[in-house]
Amino acid sequence: MIFNPIAIDNWSRKPYFEHYLNNVRCTYSMMANIDITRLLSELKKKGIKLYPALIHMITKVVNRHSEFRTCFDSDGRLGYWDCLSPSFTIFHDDDKTFSSIWTLYSGEFNDFYSRYLDDMKIYGSVKHFAAKANEPPNTFPISSIPWVSFTGFNLNVYNEGTYLLPIFTIGKYFQHDKKILLPLSGQFHHAVCDGYHASVLFNELQLRADTCREWLPNN
């Protein structure tokens, strides 16, 4: 993993970054329904779990854009990671708690899926907030609320407001007009990305779902 510092004085986004970090520090949420009709059908045919497929889709698109990889490092430097891996929540049905697990990202879905299954086998029943230790700094959070098809979701983070990476929340999919739709919410920091960038991300996620036959295994 490589952290690339940003020379702020030469950065085209400098005035927007400074405004939304220093003058009007704010994050915003955007929610969209992703059509997963084809994706869900293909996954069921192949016996592949939906959650890791969605995690990989989100991570794949996030890694295409430096806006979503921009953050402060442990030394307080502004920059962007060359690649992010997902840190995601899992649910313990017996006591209704959850844990967080991270899986090393791979651009190839098969590789990532194998790593996900290995991590779930080892850490899936570990009941700690952070079930898998030694989480690297280049991760971003994904969580799932599969019990409700929400129409909006706003995550309120009460800190200094300097967490710049995106945060995603997946809802319960539902049927509408012969389509299977999945609510997906993203929390973004306005200092590093605008509504345009978030819109590109959601549109690319939809394209990823539509073209799932190109990246899912053939067998």
Q: Would you name the residues annotated as active-site residues? A: 190
Q: Which two tokens stand for residue 41?
A: 């059908």
Q: What is residue 95's DSSP assignment?
A: T
Helix (H) or strand (E) holding 123: helix 109-123
| Three-class SS state of 204 | helix
Catalogue the long-range contacts made by 45-54 (C-beta closer than 8 Å, 24 or more residues apart). Answer: 46/216, 46/217, 46/219, 48/113, 48/216, 48/217, 51/88, 51/144, 51/170, 52/112, 52/113, 52/116, 52/117, 53/109, 53/113, 53/212, 53/216, 54/170, 54/182
The structure tokens 């706003």 sit at: 154
Distance CA 71, CA 120 (A): 28
